[in-house]
Structure 1
Amino acid sequence: MDRGKKQGKFIANKNHKIYMDLKDIIREVALPYLPAKSLRRCTSVCREWRLQISTPFFAHSQSNSFRDLSGFFCRSTSGEPTFLPFDPMAYGVADPSFSFLPEPVFVRCSSNGLVCCQGRSGQKPYYVCNPVTKQWTKLPRHNADHGSDPAIVMAFEPSLLNFVADYKLICAFPSELDGCEFEIYSSAEKSWRISNEICFGDRKLVPSSGVYAGGSVYWGSTTRGILAFNLTSERTTIQSSYSYAARYPPSGVSCALGYTNGKLAVASVIGPQLNVVQLSNTFTNTMQMNSRARAWDTKW
């Protein structure tokens, strides 16, 4: 009787996931962590894998599972965008020139797989697209003058709890009141609006330096500090950084903004040395005098 009970228990456990076939484990557990180009090749493995990868739910799951940086979009000598992958075998897009869009475009910003492009002629509209699926949408005309080189940033954070891929575009533009203002596009509302916040002062932003991290948008400045715009409160602050040439950069120093683990990071190159610092405390400007609290932590 004891042997029978043990045997029955063992037979029942065979239905558990630990007894799944290897191909089923790979399909359910490993595939969502692969980049898009690798998944494209996996569709030729079998009909079952092709159907699995082509479902909207799998695309939603993969956007939350795979978060590695695949490469960089850059502008070629002809003006067309090109894509430089870190690993050509694993990463890539089918049409890096975005010829599937209605007109030639410039790549302005990107976030977690979505890319914002701008037309080269006419009213220069914005397009938001997925370069892997070639799905795109044309945004309505914005209200403010963003200039020929807009300081625009995309904020897109995929979430398992939100199946709809909502995103925001934030553009800083010069204000008539001697400062800069901010216009925000919401995909949920499908419209632009100008924020009530105005950052006063003669501060020239570097358009291509914009980056989204930790719920805020950051731009580098050619004069002083890093301008931060919080998307929740829609308030601006100035973050000083010795790495981003907060005060008139010396010659030979190049800097770039980015993000690591959801936090703002600044990389600076001085001669043969590369310094990377991460913003760990955004409230040092409100601390009491002589406080030992540090805003930046040296990472490398």
Structure 2
Amino acid sequence: MDLGKRPGNLITASNSKLYMDLKDIIREQALPFLPAKSLFRFLAVCRDWMLHISTPSFHHNQSLCCRGISGLFCQTPENPPVFVPIHPESCGVPDPSLSFLPEPVVIRASSNGLLCCQGLDEDRYYYLCNPVTKQWKKLPKPTASHGSKPALVVIFEPSLLNSVPEYKLICAFESTDFDDATEFEIYSSKNNSWNVSKAICFRDEKADLGSGVHVNGVVYWPVESDHILSFDLTKHRSKLLDSLTAGIDCLLGTFDARLCKVYILGDEVFVNVFKVLNMHKITWDESEMWEDTLVLDPDNTFIPLDDDYIDTRAVAVSRDILVVVCDNEFYCYGFEDHKTNTLNQPEPAESEFYYEICVPYVNSLVSL
């Protein structure tokens, strides 16, 4: 009788071992790639998962693995920010209005889960925060005047070699010492201070800067006068790149870890990828600097690109998706499946206002 039970016992033990191995694989290999909202749900799976997800080492690992755009923080003039998720079931934040901060703020920039805001009080302090964990830090006052709409870029690149998050902010601002010139001030979390770079970029005329992006040690901003302003963080050098299809309405982003620009021409959306690896060795014309990667036309999507009466802007781009806003309606286009989804978002507090600020955001557990 005992011999007859042994095969069943062996099978049960084997299945149990297989289950344990699969459970460990999911916990160690799959969980770090999930956005924060999903992970908070999984805290209730079991005590082991709750303890594992709550550790600082897991938070660091998740910030390394979860890098896709989860949604956008958007804001109309004089109203609190709102969050527009790309996948509402898995991505979200508990307090999109950021009421946990000590004062009302305006969204300025973000990077891999860190959000930079600026206070609306007289002092106009900068704040860095994680909207998921509600951790925040008030930054010291810059030494230079950054103007009413600072061209800020947050630089946070999680590293396997450093479990303590280190980040920088860089602001391009109008020089007060030279006409038609741009200077740069950099904040470093390592020493908790601002420093004005010696680099100065001279231009033919004053022009506003659009939303900037950091790619491989260089920061880029689209310029209203159809140029792209670049700043090398290592060499502290600046260069003005010609780009006939840039301008302040051009969106800069990353595509396959390279700089890309997205612009709307007529009823088509173009995505161009930068060919040049070293911006200081650029000696050829614009046609040799960029390669046409993707073209989105009205026949491939229901985004109203061909409607001349609708204000259309590209607001987020990655290797997988492109997000376009048309009169406060958000559309997400997938480059792989060629499908378009309409994103749900709260109605603006005032119907005549549009979402002037749209900042891509990654749903990360990164700690400050």
Q: Report the Cα distance in structure 1 between the residues aligned to 2:275 and 2:266, rounded to whole angstroms.
A: 26
Give the deviation of 1:24 after TM superposition: 1.6
Query: Are residues 1:153 and 2:153 paired?
Result: yes
Give the deviation of 1:293 after TM superposition: 8.7
Name 2:317's counterpart in structure 1.
none
Superposed, which structure 2 residues align to 1:126-205 within 5 Å?
126-175=126-175, 176-178=177-179, 179-205=181-207
Q: Report the Cα distance in structure 2 between the residues aligned to 1:148 and 1:155, rounded to whole angstroms.
A: 21
Equivalent pair of 2:226/2:245 in contact (CA under 8 Å): no
Distance 1:131 1:258, change over 3 A: same
Name which of structure 1's ranges 209-218 and 134-143 shifts more when overlaid on structure 2.
Answer: 209-218
Report the residue type matching 1:258 in the other structure.
G
Give the deviation of 1:25 after TM superposition: 1.4
Give the deviation of 1:18 after TM superposition: 7.8
SS of residue in 1 equivalent to 2:246: coil
Deviations 1:59-117 (CA, angstroms, capped at 9, x unpaired): 00000011110011110465111110101001111111111110010110000100111
- In the alignment of these two chains, the number of paired residues is 277
Superposed, which structure 2 residues align to 1:96-107 within 5 Å?
96-107=96-107
Unaligned runs of 5+ in 2: 1-13, 295-368
Return the match for 1:294 from 277, 288, 295.
288
Identity of paired residues, percent?
50
Equivalent pair of 1:70/1:86 in contact (CA under 8 Å): yes
Equivalent pair of 1:195/1:234 in contact (CA under 8 Å): yes
Q: Report the Cα distance in structure 1 between the residues aligned to 2:283 and 2:250, rounded to whole angstroms.
A: 30
The two structures have a TM-score, normalised by structure 2, of 0.71
Report the residue type matching 1:170 in the other structure.
I
Report the residue type matching 2:125 in the other structure.
P
Q: Report the Cα distance in structure 1 between the residues aligned to 2:267 and 2:129, rounded to whole angstroms.
A: 38
Query: Are residues 1:261 and 2:256 paired?
Result: yes
Give the deviation of 1:203 after TM superposition: 4.4
Give the deviation of 1:41 after TM superposition: 0.6
Give the deviation of 1:299 after TM superposition: 1.1
Distance 1:288 1:187, change over 3 A: closer
Name 2:327's counterpart in structure 1.
none
Q: Report the Cα distance in structure 2 between the residues aligned to 1:262 and 1:154, rounded to whole angstroms.
A: 17
Query: Are residues 1:38 and 2:32 paired?
Result: no
Name 2:82's counterpart in structure 1.
82
Equivalent pair of 1:217/1:231 in contact (CA under 8 Å): yes
SS of residue in 2 equivalent to 1:229: strand
Distance 1:287 1:137, change over 3 A: closer
Give the deviation of 1:287 after TM superposition: 5.7
Cα RMSD for the two superposed structures? 2.2
Give the deviation of 1:234 after TM superposition: 0.9
Equivalent pair of 1:73/1:82 in contact (CA under 8 Å): yes
SS of residue in 2 equivalent to 1:39: helix
Q: Report the Cα distance in structure 1 between the residues aligned to 2:207 and 2:33, rounded to whole angstroms.
A: 37
Equivalent pair of 2:105/2:117 in contact (CA under 8 Å): yes
Distance 1:133 1:158, change over 3 A: same
Equivalent pair of 2:119/2:126 in contact (CA under 8 Å): yes
Return the match for 2:218 from 213, 216, 219.
216
Name 1:7's counterpart in structure 2.
none
Equivalent pair of 1:150/1:171 in contact (CA under 8 Å): yes
Name 2:353's counterpart in structure 1.
none
Higher relative contact order (CA 8 A, sep 6+): 2
Unaligned runs of 5+ in 1: 1-13
SS of residue in 2 equivalent to 1:136: strand
Equivalent pair of 2:222/2:250 in contact (CA under 8 Å): no
Name which of structure 1's ranges 99-108 and 254-263 shifts more when overlaid on structure 2.
Answer: 254-263
Q: Report the Cα distance in structure 2 between the residues aligned to 1:61 and 1:288, rounded to whole angstroms.
A: 41
Equivalent pair of 2:201/2:240 in contact (CA under 8 Å): no
Give the deviation of 1:240 after TM superposition: 2.2
SS of residue in 2 equivalent to 1:163: coil
Report the residue type matching 2:289 in the other structure.
A
Name 1:272's counterpart in structure 2.
267
Superposed, which structure 2 residues align to 1:17-56 within 5 Å?
20-56=20-56
Distance 1:203 1:283, change over 3 A: farther
Name which of structure 1's ranges 71-80 and 127-136 shifts more when overlaid on structure 2.
Answer: 71-80
Q: Report the Cα distance in structure 2 between the residues aligned to 1:285 and 1:241, rounded to whole angstroms.
A: 16
Name which of structure 1's ranges 225-234 and 71-80 shifts more when overlaid on structure 2.
Answer: 71-80
Deviations 1:150-202 (CA, angstroms, capped at 9, x unpaired): 11111110011111111110011111212011110000010001001111124
